[in-house]
Structure 1
Amino acid sequence: MFAMNHLKSFGLCALMLFASYASVALTPQHLLSDTATPIDLVSAIPVAFGDWLVDPNVAPVRPSPEQQETLDQTYDQIVSRTYKNSQGARIMLSVAYGSAQTRKMRAHRQEVCYAAQGFEIKGLRQDNILVTGTEIPMTRMVAVQRSRVEPVTYWFTIGDSLVRSYLDRQIVQLKYAFSGFVPDGYLFRVSSISSDTDTAFSDQISFSSELLRSMDRRLAEKLIGKAPI
């Protein structure tokens, strides 16, 4: 059993090294984003849907200058909004798009970004959750800063693939590199201020499902693949 586990670990490491080397050795000449009509996030994401409406009185927390510089280098578009429903519940949304997901410029894990802004990260875990009929490999965590408790759910896509691990990203980038393309990618993140984390996570999935059904179908397909919306 030990030998088998050791062999599997060795094979996984070898695959990661090969994917990393190949993604560097291959130099794609074209952006995948140039092969499709651009999607404007501001207009593609509705300001009102179902029982939810953007709350103009709540401004997103501004990142530090260092974080903002990283965001500007990684993403071409970012939409950050806070939605409120008729019961007074609020959910914060951030959708970011980068036209060139390379090894040096690609979406960053949100636990790293939150920690860089002074948050303590608790309960970090990975879940596969059904959203509009698609099983999405998402990451969940609770970001804590003094009295602020913020459950967070997020996931990434690169090209037409949902990705979570470092190896996932390397393999997808390698696939596109062999075709001569640099893939684009999206970050989808929802969060809320609540100490009732289980309820918050459940509400975030319901919110996300309703939002995805209400937004521009092209964007929804980019965020979860071409499953029924």
Structure 2
Amino acid sequence: SKTPRRLYIDYLIPLPPETVAADIDPWPGGLAQMYPYAEQIITDVLSGVVEDPGNLSSQILSPQDCCGFFVQESKASPERDVAAILFPSVDQLEKIDEIDRMVGKDRTLLIFNRQFKRPEDFGFRKKDRSQQVVFDRFEWGFAFQEFACRGEDVKLNFELGHGGWKSCVICDEDVDAGAKEFALLEPSFDRPVYEDLERRINKVLPEPLWMRKMGEAETKGLKFQRGKK
């Protein structure tokens, strides 16, 4: 297979069902609270990508960092097993290298929702080592990311073999019109940087969100007043 065997997967974990709009932080327990949700997602992902899935094994690599290791075996062939490291942080650098060698070059290894972004995150002494162990070996396989940029709801998506990173902004301040999606940058194999997204948003949506909401209130009235005579 020509598919790269060392891949990053970045998956947006759905908010817990008890989340309400007033919650300042839907994950007050951090990674420890996220772990069981992520564990279910990664289990589903692994069983979905492995041909004729067999036994799934897992272990905790670091309780304090909430980092786990999963291996989905394939009944078809050991070479088709897929392994994954969940929530690895900068403290798992040597463990990543150890697992990489254990998995071997013929089997796939995924890094799922990594807790670092660049070699500099590992500090001066381990920057070059992280480049060798992680960044030179792994590339993006799939990503679905959501974050705020200039106060707007921005989504990034990447799927290997489907044209690179795609970006859009979601506008849902108009309840009557519903959510609207506006494409931002042209698809690219380099992940879009914040500054480029911000510049594009300034062109696509010149008025900031608060101004658009004020305009809606002036036109339609406050939400709690709508429908009243």
TM-score, structure 1 as length reference = 0.27
The structure with more radius of gyration: 2
Q: Which protein is richer in helix relative to its size?
A: 1
TM-score norm. by structure 2 comes to 0.27
Task: Using CA pairs under 8 Å that are at least 6 residues apart, name the structure with larger relative contact order, 1 or 2.
Answer: 1
